[in-house]
């Protein structure tokens, strides 16, 4: 089977697959690997990316996460113009085992947070990026453990310690960008008139909970 023929065959197979944790893990892993190939990426249908919203637990050593965090893949996901899929993608590829140094992928993620996650209306999506807190906590505990040097293993510990510090620095920078967007959104909200601010907060809190068939009627003014 030619490489270009693999993607349609794979898409047909997963279209009938159940959305279980194991299946989603396999699909997401393969999807990210295919997206890293410039020859196969254009063959991926846009609706296949919705599998990312399953957010399966990927293994520590994962080819999809390693290959799928590059610049072109990040730009492809951003081009879908779906903030939910973009959020799921970032949560999946971020890991305490992944330094995010594949080309300009890290820089593209920083740009994405500034442009795609900015504004008052994206506060919920920014809150979902708390995955960064989990990763930084893991890296902090790893650094504490690596402070204990053990004889001949000292050189190995030094290398791993510096590696973890490099990863921590990158994820720390992403966290600062998220915080910066939160602060700007808060500043915007504080400048709003009280009535408009209340309506904005109400919309952010309950927009996803209101059924589409619900009709709201305002009371008639009294004479």
Identify whether 218 is part of a domain: no
In a domain, 200, yes or no: no
Average pLDDT for residues 113-126, to the nearest whole number? 91
141-147: which pairs have CB atoms within 8 A and are 24 or more residues apart? 142/96, 143/168
In the structure encoding, which two tokens stand for residue 40, read together? Answer: 């196969």
Closest by CA position to 172, among listed 206, 209, 139 = 139
The answer as to whether 207 is a domain residue is: no
Quick check: is 149 in a domain? yes
How many domains, the chain? 1
pLDDT tens per residue, range 7-35: 999 999 999 999 999 999 999 999 999 99
Domain assignment of residue 43, yes or no: yes
Q: pTM of the full predicted structure?
A: 0.79
Q: Would residue 96 count as lying in a domain?
A: yes
Residue 210 in domain: no
Six token digits for residue 127: 């809150």
Q: How far apart are CA 175 and CA 12, in angstroms?
A: 38
* pLDDT tops 70 at residue 89: yes
Quickly state the pLDDT bin for 195 (edges 50, 70, 90).
low
Domain with 162, as residue range(s), is 3-189
In a domain, 219, yes or no: no
Whether 166 shows a pLDDT value over 50: the answer reads: yes
């Amino acid at each position: 089977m030619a490489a270009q023929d693999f993607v349609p065959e794979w898409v047909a197979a997963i279209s009938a697959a159940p959305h279980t944790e194991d299946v989603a893990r396999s699909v997401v892993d393969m999807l990210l690997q295919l997206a890293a190939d410039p020859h196969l990426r254009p063959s991926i249908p846009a609706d296949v990316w919705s599998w990312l919203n399953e957010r399966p637990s990927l293994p520590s050593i994962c080819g999809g996460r390693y290959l799928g965090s590059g610049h072109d893949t990040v730009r492809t996901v951003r081009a879908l113009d779906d903030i939910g899929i973009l959020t799921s993608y970032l949560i999946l590829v971020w890991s305490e085992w992944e330094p995010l140094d594949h080309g300009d992928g890290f820089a593209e993620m920083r740009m994405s947070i500034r442009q795609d996650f900015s504004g008052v209306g994206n506060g919920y999506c920014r809150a979902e990026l708390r995955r960064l807190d989990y990763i930084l906590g893991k890296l902090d505990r790893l650094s504490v453990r690596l402070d204990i040097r053990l004889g001949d293993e000292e050189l190995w510990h030094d290398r791993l310690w510096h590696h973890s510090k490099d990863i921590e620095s990158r994820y720390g920078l992403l966290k600062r960008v998220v915080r910066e967007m939160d602060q700007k959104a808060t500043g915007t909200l504080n400048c709003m008139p009280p009535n408009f601010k209340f309506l904005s907060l109400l919309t952010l809190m309950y927009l996803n909970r209101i059924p589409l068939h619900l009709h709201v009627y305002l009371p008639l003014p009294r004479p």
